[in-house]
Amino acid sequence: MTTKPLPDSLSLEQFNQAIGELREILGPERVYTDDVNELRSYRDVYSTTADKLHLPSAAIAPESVEEIQKVLVVARKYVIPLWTISTGKNLAYGGAAPRKSGYIVLDLKRMNRIIEVNEKYGYAVVEPGVSYFDLYNYLQERNSKLWIDPAAPGWGSVLGNMSEHGAGYTPYGDHLLMNCGMQVVLADGTVVDTGMGSSAESNTANLYKYGHGPWVEGLFTQSNVGIITKIGIWLMPEPPGYRPYMVTFPKEEDLFQLTEIAGPLRLNMLIPNAATIVGLIWEASATTTKNQYYQGKGAMPMSARQKMADDLKIGMWNFYGALYGPPPMMDNNWKILEEAFRSIPGAKFYFEGDRPGDPAFDYRAKLMRGVPSMTEFGIMNWVGSGAHIDFAPRSPVTGEDAMHQFTMIRDRANEYGFDYIGEFLIGFRELLDVFMLVFDRTDEEEMVRAHECFGKLIDDHTAAGYGEYRTHLDFMDKVAGTYDWNDGALWKLHHRIKDTLDPDGILSPGKQGIWPKRMRQG
Amino acid sequence: MIVIRSFILIVLCSILLACGEQSTENTEQKTKPYGANKVVTTVAPPDAKKIYDLNCLPCHAEGPGHAGTMRLARRLGEDKSVLTQRDDLNADYVKIVVRQGFSLMPPFRPTEISDSELNALAEYLAAK
């Protein structure tokens, strides 16, 4: 018989009392305590550790700010950790599961109103439960001329992805940069509208980010000192023209020159969107699986990879970008881009219509114009029952750094028997390397191996000067420990803020390695 | 999620009005709607096809580029790869898979698909 996980220091009797009070607030239908029929849906089915480390004691689903305030009164009274999620699709980083077993998940999926869409000024105001699909469908139904900027899986939360510092693929791909206006409920129940929105009569709450005084929005992202209940997000007006393109490159070493070329073009905005350099297997996984080309153990050898590349007419690297604007402008920009990319021997160029029936090109073309899909989830098919966690370091946009990261990850992954499944997103001044560690979670030994591999990757990159911008629940403390300059001054600051704004330590303890005083080690 | 927005407009309006009078233990606070030209989503009543289209179709539609269809084709064969074309699904099985997850498919929570919506979805797929 299994024992129900409970919040630390709470007896079953106290827990049941608290649940009773939460049911008084939310009604029995929005308080979930059935471990099998309800709470198993809050597991992280992709983690490299056992489910039992991240099982909630309950989940609750408020539908308004007022209900959150009332829930907080109960949480403070019983000192219950509340783990906040939005759509719960932060998959590869923990999904809907809490940092530690016993927490109550504060599930904001039912706060799913699209409060405003401003067609003239190009923004939307949304609650946490609004997914990219929701916002896209809403705009389409109203013939809006505004685009969204979705993360690759369309079921993600607009608010949640922004607050995790997520990225998309249109020119609005830096989601935190596109946030303007935020409403936060603090641990004591105080409701704060940030920036210009803090002025009662403001008409620029979603137009100008900074207001007067300190700019505080960042404090509430990847954080646990408040509950974000509403954000403004800028939406890109549909441009007069759009042309997605793909350029394939035949050799792994081409990454060096490609990055050297693409970096300055991005910085100077000839490449205006968050363009991507997609690795072979990431690209191939939209249409094929590993065992179609390799049935052996361990990482796929180069001979099989080359055959797959040849069969699918893709490169070891596949560059996706898009042109936006009036046709003459796109024509002129393309001349420069084409000449630059053509300097790499073997480069091949593709536009819309050149790759009929290729789902990889299709979903990339959609993403770069803000159409959400779930095609990228096909990567999970690469191995049998594919689970995955993502490793996401940042580096400068140079060929040397790109190759250094790529070879470090590839070699370490191969050493542990995993394939390199990666892509690089090109920001203005940084490369975001996303390595998807795909493994079979039904194989316990492989799960352990994946966990060890991930830890080594963090060590390797820390030693080389590359920091991770986001990580899975199981590695939050480890990554936080790499931000250690000056005796860990930054995390000490985070803890001082945490202790001040959430003295009871009830909001998402351990998020990003930020713990309340009562739970800090040492 | 449209199906989960089981609010009616009147309720939404009352919530919005209530948002204007939030109070905390210590201070009276006022919040206001952001900007002008407020547009509030209205909500359709639960509808099995809509539930399916929003939650399942993106991975289980016919044709390439759909992770669930691709997985089922590998596991069970092409003829059983598209959920809405299968005649061997029973409602209880669908409910278990949705709540517990299966293979690469993560579970769906009751806040995403409520129990009554799940019943409707399961019956919809079982009746195909």
Answer yes or no: do B18 and B65 share one domain: no
Interface of B with A in 48-77 (CB under 8 A): 54, 58-59, 64-67, 70-71, 74
* Of A42, A78, A93, A416, catalytic: A93
Answer yes or no: do B29 and B56 share one domain: no
What count of other Cβ atoms lies within 10 Å of the Cβ of residue A419? 25
Is A63 part of the contact surface with chain B (CB cutoff 8 Å)? yes
Answer yes or no: do B69 and B113 share one domain: yes
A402-456 pLDDT tens trace: 999 999 999 999 999 999 999 999 998 999 999 999 999 999 999 999 999 999 9
d(CA B57, CA B50): 10
Answer yes or no: do B12 and B34 share one domain: yes
Is B124 part of the contact surface with chain A (CB cutoff 8 Å)? no
Residues of chain A with pLDDT under 70: 1-2, 521-522
Answer yes or no: do B77 and B118 share one domain: yes
* Of A121, A138, A469, A483, catalytic: A469
User: What's residue B45's pLDDT?
Assistant: 53
Residue B5 distance to chain A (closest CA, Å): 7
DSSP state, residue B82: S
Answer yes or no: do B37 and B53 share one domain: no
Tokens of A476: 């939050």
Element counts in chain A: helices (H) and strands (E)? 13, 19
Across the interface, of A137, A193, A385, the residue whose CB is closest to B104 is A385
Does residue B41 have a pLDDT over 60? no
Q: Which helix (H) or strand (E) holds B118?
A: helix B115-126
Is B108 part of the contact surface with chain A (CB cutoff 8 Å)? yes
CATH number (domain holding residue B101): 1.10.760.10
Answer yes or no: do B22 and B57 share one domain: no
Contacts of B58 in chain A (CB under 8 A): 133, 154-155, 373-374
Tokens of B119: 């019943």
For A297, counting Cβ atoms within 10 Å of its Cβ (0-12 exposed, 13-18 middle, 19+ buried), the class is exposed
Q: Which residue of A has its CA nearest to B112?
A: A109
Contacts of B12 in chain A (CB under 8 A): 113
Contacts with A410 (C-beta within 8 Å, 6 or more apart), sequence order: A420, A422
User: What's residue A384's pLDDT?
Assistant: 76
What count of other Cβ atoms lies within 10 Å of the Cβ of residue A31? 21
Answer yes or no: do B27 and B54 share one domain: no
Answer yes or no: do B69 and B119 share one domain: yes
Does residue B121 have a pLDDT over 60? yes
Answer yes or no: do B25 and B3 share one domain: yes
DSSP state, residue A301: P
Residue A230: strand pairing partners? A183
User: What's residue B128's pLDDT?
Assistant: 80
User: Is A416 annotated as catalytic?
Assistant: no
- The residue among A35, A111, A137, A377 with the most chain B CBs within 10 A of its CB, best to mutate, is A377
Tokens of A233: 């997000």
Intra-chain end-to-end CA distance of chain B, in Å: 24
User: What's residue B108's pLDDT?
Assistant: 97
Contacts of A84 in chain B (CB under 8 A): none
Domain count, chain B: 2
User: Is A93 annotated as catalytic?
Assistant: yes
Does residue B37 have a pLDDT over 70? no
**Cα atoms found within 13 Å of the Cα of residue A138, Cβ hemisphere only:** 26
d(CA B25, CA A230): 21
Range of the domain at B9: 1-41
Which runs of consecutive H residues, i.e. helices, occur in A291-398? 302-312, 327-342, 359-367
CB contact under 8 A, A65 and B4: no
Question: What pTM did the predictor assign?
Answer: 0.92
Answer yes or no: do B16 and B56 share one domain: no
User: What's residue A522's pLDDT?
Assistant: 52
B88-111 pLDDT tens trace: 999 999 999 999 999 889 999 999
Determine phi and psi for A440, rounding to 5 degrees. Answer: -95, 110
Rounded to the nearest 10 degrees, how much is the dihedral formed by the CA atoms of A306, A312, A317, A318? 170
Answer yes or no: do B59 and B93 share one domain: yes
CB contact under 8 A, B22 and A41: no
Does residue B34 have a pLDDT over 60? no
DSSP state, residue A219: G
Interface of A with B in 251-290 (CB under 8 A): 286-287, 289
For A486, counting Cβ atoms within 10 Å of its Cβ (0-12 exposed, 13-18 middle, 19+ buried), the class is exposed
Does residue B23 have a pLDDT over 90? no
CB contact under 8 A, B65 and A181: no
Does residue B9 have a pLDDT over 70? no
Please report which confidence band the pLDDT of residue B39 belongs to, taking 50, 70 and 90 as the band edges.
very low
Is B91 part of the contact surface with chain A (CB cutoff 8 Å)? no
State the complex-level ipTM: 0.94
**Cα atoms found within 13 Å of the Cα of residue A178, Cβ hemisphere only:** 28
Q: Which residue of B has its CA nearest to A61?
A: B111
CB contact under 8 A, A109 and B4: yes
